Amino acid sequence: MSAPVGPSATTVTPASTASRRNAELGLLVFALAVALAAFATLGLGVDGAVPARIGSYAAGFGGLLLVAHLALRRFAPYADPVLLPAVALLNGIGLVMIYRLDIAEAASAERAGRPAPAPDALSQITWTALGVVLFVAVLVLVRDHRGLQRFTYTAMAAGLVLLLLPLVPGLGTRIFGAQIWIRVGPFSFQPGEVAKIALTIFFAGYLVLKRDVLALARRRVLGVDLPRMRDLGPIVVVWLVCLGILVFERDLGTAVLFFGSFVMLLYVATERRSWLILGTLMVLAGGWLAYQAFAHVRTRIDIWLDPFADPQGAGFQLVQGLYGLAAGGLLGSGLGQGRPDLIPVAKTDFIVDALGEELGLTGLMALLLLYGIVVERGLRTAIAARDSFGTLLAAGLSFILAIQVFVVVGGVTRLIPLTGLTTPFLSYGGSSLVANWALVALLLRISDAARRPAPPPVPETQEALTQVVRR
């Protein structure tokens, strides 16, 4: 005899998930305290006194973090409580290091009898403020991440247009050999930083619709299920687009970033290892073709293989960065005690080496651990998401951050060829910083939906389960 079905038989109860906003506030205070301690240590190391600007730094940066926290309390109360403090700490350390490099550059200019260059720390905190404004705007405007799926192909078009903008004559500008910037009047902008978010939305929306087709496998070779040839179209198109970026814009990092994130999303959507193997083979094939055909790719590879072959010329940047890391050793020289100004473009591409010199391997590992926490919380959000689009979008945004950090750190430590990407939240630059704040806001929006308590189930009544069948 079966038990009666009614309200008492309900096995699913509403979850009582805490919002954890107070925990987030505590972690934000900790992040601000660490950044202020680093700022004070820098002043003691350079001038022997705590910087006079520490009060304004605390008020400005702390006020921005408070705005971001209050926005989460209001618009995404169940969002992940760890993501915002982690990126806030990275942003705070980046501000301190850029200020440190400002001081070093001014001292170098004074020794050489040149005028001191304009400081960049104030610009960076202005970009941080714009990033927080965009962070709040995303939370306000994107109330439900599932609505972004309606703009799948619009996001694709926007992403491609943004990628092509640097190639427009009179608009694009070439810096250090890479044509990835556009300049409008006194302002410059790197559209690829926004394109990575738009294309991730496209990849996620496309794979939600096509993953069943892409998961089909008809041929098994050496124990690996290979997809059908007619299903290879999307990955071939993305591969060709990335080769175009590599050839025309000379931007190895962005090409690796887009292709790597798309292949990882394919794997998440289909759970087929064959896509990872195919992606790796296509990266190797594309790299070999580019090496054979284009001189700038051969130069990058040659520098990677033997940077000391021309330490004062082509290999100068990488060699100086490696010397900086070696000088830092295990514990570093201490903030304000090293010579990070000897590393070229230390505020952007080589800020990891500058931090490694003054914080040592220990400090560098702590920063990488912070990135690991951000990526882990993003992937945890992907697993907890209640819809396929949210899962793929959160995974894609997390992969974007993980691949970018890997490419940058791998490049400056000579693990892989050097690229022109910036380190998220640490490097100087408005495009990267503002885009990454928007990326984190999307992750928090998805985590809010994933952690929000489910609505109470509708009580089932005996009458609702009774069906009358008429013949």
**Residue 174: pLDDT above 80?**
no
Q: Are the C-beta atoms of 428 and 348 separated by less than 8 Å? A: yes
Question: From the CB of residue 175, how many other CB atoms can be counted at a distance below 10 Å?
Answer: 14
User: pLDDT band at residue 15, thresholds of 50, 70 and 90?
Assistant: very low
Between 11 and 124, the more confident residue is 124
Q: Which helix (H) or strand (E) holds 174?
A: strand 172-175
Q: What average pLDDT does this structure show over 282-291?
A: 84
Q: What is the pLDDT of residue 353?
A: 93
Q: What is the pLDDT of residue 445?
A: 97
**What are the Cα distances from residue 390, in Å, to 20, 134, 397?**
21, 21, 11
What six digits make up the tokens of 296?
A: 């700038």
The rounded distance, in Å, linking the Cα atoms of 389 and 446 is 10
For the ranges 24-33, 210-219, 276-285, the one whose mean pLDDT is highest: 24-33
In the predicted model, what is the mean pLDDT of the chain?
Answer: 86
Pick from 47-61, 218-232, 306-320: least confident: 218-232
Q: What average pLDDT does this structure show over 336-365?
A: 91
User: pLDDT band at residue 401, thresholds of 50, 70 and 90?
Assistant: very high
Q: What is the pLDDT of residue 223?
A: 66
Q: What is the pLDDT of residue 93?
A: 95
- Name the DSSP letter for residue 248: I
Q: What is the pLDDT of residue 161?
A: 87
Between 391 and 453, the more confident residue is 391
Which position has the token pair 């193997």? 277
**Residue 205: pLDDT above 60?**
yes
The rounded distance, in Å, linking the Cα atoms of 133 and 356 is 31
Residue type at 41 in one-letter notation: T
Between 174 and 406, the more confident residue is 406
User: pLDDT band at residue 3, thresholds of 50, 70 and 90?
Assistant: very low
Encode pLDDT of 267-276 as tens digits. 888 888 888 8
Q: What average pLDDT does this structure show over 342-366?
A: 92
The rounded distance, in Å, linking the Cα atoms of 288 and 221 is 24
- Name the DSSP letter for residue 270: H
Q: Are the C-beta atoms of 87 and 374 separated by less than 8 Å? A: yes
pTM of the model: 0.89
Between 233 and 264, the more confident residue is 264
Q: Are the C-beta atoms of 314 and 332 separated by less than 8 Å? A: no
- Closest of 242, 221, 219 to residue 230, by C-alpha: 219
Q: What is the pLDDT of residue 89?
A: 96
Q: What is the pLDDT of residue 97?
A: 94
Half-sphere exposure of 225 (CA within 13 A, CB side): 10
User: pLDDT band at residue 90, thresholds of 50, 70 and 90?
Assistant: very high
Q: What are phi and psi of 218, to 5 degrees?
A: -115, -15
Q: What average pLDDT does this structure show over 329-334?
A: 91
**Residue 7: pLDDT above 50?**
no
User: pLDDT band at residue 341, thresholds of 50, 70 and 90?
Assistant: confident
The rounded distance, in Å, linking the Cα atoms of 165 and 432 is 16
- Percent above pLDDT 90 for the chain: 45
What six digits make up the tokens of 312?
A: 């004062």
Give the 3-state secondary structure of residue 185. coil
Between 93 and 469, the more confident residue is 93
What six digits make up the tokens of 203?
A: 């990849």
Beta-ladder partners of 404: none
Q: What is the pLDDT of residue 1?
A: 39
User: pLDDT band at residue 450, thresholds of 50, 70 and 90?
Assistant: very high
- Closest of 296, 342, 302, 347 to residue 322, by C-alpha: 342
